Structure 1
């Protein structure tokens, strides 16, 4: 099972949504807000009880809406835009991705995923240190993964790939 492709389907990431998500505002607001907001929402159960789950739902809705609310960028020259395009290459044209990128990207995805353990345990036990550790591991791994996706995008372009290759049926 490919977690990236499952996630793409769950999020309903069609071509237009991917192009809108390449807007740096979408990328950076998605990096900076969901995990801390989710942590605060879940910790809110101690003070506001079950009402905290409403805040959790709001965060989850934001995660889904985020790639849709920003306009497609005028150019795709920014690091963050290229990271999104590289992720699209990763999901759609993995056969064209160099082996050294594949091994690093997979290791980064696993490393980032390991941050879920301290994050979840920290949330369960109201431990801010473990929760923050989880956020740092998840977010740090994801940012490093995005950086690798930039490399993948640039390699894809050097091989003659283009934006059109990402928005046409495969």
Structure 2
């Protein structure tokens, strides 16, 4: 079982929920989570322990978001294809992906995103505006580039597999 499949299981991404998550609204609104978490916990000096309410609400939104929206009217857009590509990638232990996609780039991009997250957490603890901006930026650059590679993977695979092709509408 791939790590990505384990993460998908945490978010309860079955066939129907994957299609809900491929809704562009799901993808784009999910980008709101990290800044809201940073802001929520940053606000602890202004509102004390009350900062847990927006912080936990942001975390709740992160888990609810993939299943909150309906299936998209069309999956022929960048955001939908990025999610479908993630689904293809997590399924690589069952359906082989082309050699060009078997690269350490995906791991590197996830590492960049993770470093950004850690930097953002550090910035929250030490009230570093520049650390927060840099951390969130790194997290989003890594994630966005990763998602772009997932679009490429999906486009490479959709015509070679009937199930993948059925997601294209």
Is the pair's TM-score, using the shorter chain for normalization, greater than 0.5?
A: yes
Please name the residue that 2:35 is paired with. 36
Please name the residue that 2:26 is paired with. 26
Please name the residue that 2:143 is paired with. 142
Aligned pairs (5 A) from 1:16-165: 16-31=16-31, 33-94=32-93, 95-103=95-103, 104-163=105-164
Contact residue 21 and residue 70 of structure 1 kept, 8 A: yes
Contact residue 30 and residue 62 of structure 2 kept, 8 A: yes
Contact residue 85 and residue 150 of structure 1 kept, 8 A: yes
Contact residue 20 and residue 70 of structure 2 kept, 8 A: yes
TM-score (norm 1): 0.89
Deviation at 1:43, TM superposition (A): 0.6
- Which deviates the most, 130-139 or 104-113? 104-113
Contact residue 96 and residue 156 of structure 1 kept, 8 A: no
- Which deviates the most, 90-99 or 128-137? 90-99
- Which deviates the most, 16-25 or 102-111? 102-111
Could you give the per-residue CA deviations for residues 89-133 of structure 1, whole angstroms, max 9, x where no partner exists? Answer: 011135522233232212211221121221111011011110111
TM-score (norm 2): 0.89
The count of residues paired between Structure 1 and Structure 2 equals: 165
Structure 1 unaligned residues grouped into runs of 5+: none
